[in-house]
Amino acid sequence: MRGKSIGATLIALGVGIVLTLICPPWLMLLFIGLAMIAAGVLICR
């Protein structure tokens, strides 16, 4: 389970870097906001 969560984190970071390069900053902030909401929901469950 630990390895999977690390892998998911690496994938998320990679996607974030790619989106940062492709997308404008406000769109990146939108993605960060959505990711934080998703993380909060997962933690609270």
Q: What is the pLDDT of residues 1-45, one digit of tens each?
A: 677 888 888 888 888 788 778 878 787 788 889 888 988 888 887
pLDDT of residue 1: 60
Three-class SS of 1-45: CHHHHHHHHHHHHHHHHHHHHHCCHHHHHHHHHHHHHHHHHHHHC
Nearest to 19, CA basis, from 9, 11, 7, 31: 31
Task: Say if CB 1 and CB 9 are below 8 A apart.
Answer: no
Nearest to 5, CA basis, from 45, 44, 42: 42
Does the model's pTM come out above 0.75? Answer: no
Task: Say if CB 19 and CB 27 are below 8 A apart.
Answer: yes
